Amino acid sequence: MIEYLIGVDGGGTGTRVRVAHNDGGHNDGAALLAFGRGGPSGLMHGVEQAWSAVLETLNAAFASAGLVRPALEKMAIGLGLAGVNNKQWAADFAAKNPGFGDAVLETDAFTTLVGAHQGRPGVIIAIGTGSVGEVLTADGKRREVGGWGFPASDEAGGAWLGMRAITHVQQVLDGRAPGSDFARALIHFCERTCSTHFDSHRDSMFAWLASASQTSYAQLAPIVVACAERDPAAQQIMTAAGQEVARIAAALDPSGQLPIALCGGLAVHLHAYLPPPLLALVVKPHADAAAGALRLIDERLKGKKTC
């Protein structure tokens, strides 16, 4: 018998888990028992890493609530993970299910949409480490825009911001752009996180670049956000990000009629850089992607009971 429902939001930077009782109702917040945060579980990091992060975060969630985690077969899990649109990654991940009693695997875009609009028609644009947009139309059709992955896509996401910030640093070190507090903050961060110390900023930057990942670039995004109010180069990066968000929205809903929920850690920081017509359609998300994944596994179990 399934005793607990688990909702997972897994991305390139971190994992969030919601735990609820299997009480037969929609578990989108009211029945929440525990919440946990952990390391990245996006499939681009590999199937083993993804499952390891999910299980570690799940264990932490139960522990934080003072609960003993039951056997996996007593839990049903809904997962919204970055990278699920790669069918081979998704198949490999599903095949490695460590023993959960039931499971639903979806893209993090769709679980974000389900959580944000409570399963009703609408648009979401999720902007975190990466970015992706999805629409659910009134006739039940789904369509995704973006989400092609780092480094080719993920416009306006944290890694995208970070890559453009590093390009600016390179131009400053070359003398192609003037130095600034923004550039110095980026250089200091890279040197502080680099495993080897060098006397030259240029050598330090080459060393940082040699091991930089999607997560590494995304860690620079807070510096871009913090400096954008006073630094023209940082502001230009954020303005370009706002334009990319607008392009995603227009591709998802050309009519401009559906409500748009901006989700993810960077969403609130991009509001000031969005075109006014887009802002007029923006609504507050009802709940997050982990809650959306929880709703999906709840609905799956209820559907089985009525078959």
157 and 264 assigned to the same domain: yes
pLDDT of residue 24: 60
Give the CA-trace dihedral at 291, 34, 68, 82, to 10 degrees: 40
Which residue range forms the structural domain that includes residue 113?
A: 4-118+286-306
> What tens digit of pLDDT does each residue of 242-288 get?
999 999 999 999 999 999 999 988 999 999 999 999 999 999 999 99
Helical H segments across 7-121, by residue range: 47-64, 87-95, 108-117
25 and 97 assigned to the same domain: yes
13 and 46 assigned to the same domain: yes
Q: What is the mean pLDDT of the chain?
A: 93
- Residue 298's contacts (CB-CB under 8 Å, 6 or more residues apart) are 5, 22, 25, 26, 27, 78
What distance in Å separates the CA atoms of residue 171 and residue 305, rounded to the nearest whole number?
61
Number of domains in the chain: 2
pTM of the complete model: 0.80
Q: Which two tokens stand for residue 53?
A: 């992060």
pLDDT of residue 12: 81
280 and 291 assigned to the same domain: no
Provide the CATH number for the domain around residue 98.
Answer: 3.30.420.40
29 and 87 assigned to the same domain: yes
pLDDT of residue 306: 54
> What tens digit of pLDDT does each residue of 52-63 get?
999 999 999 999
What confidence category does residue 122 fall into, taking pLDDT thresholds of 50, 70 and 90?
very high
Residue type, 238: M
What distance in Å separates the CA atoms of residue 302 and residue 307, rounded to the nearest whole number?
9
Considering all CA atoms of the chain, what is the largest pairwise distance in Å, rounded to the nearest integer? 68
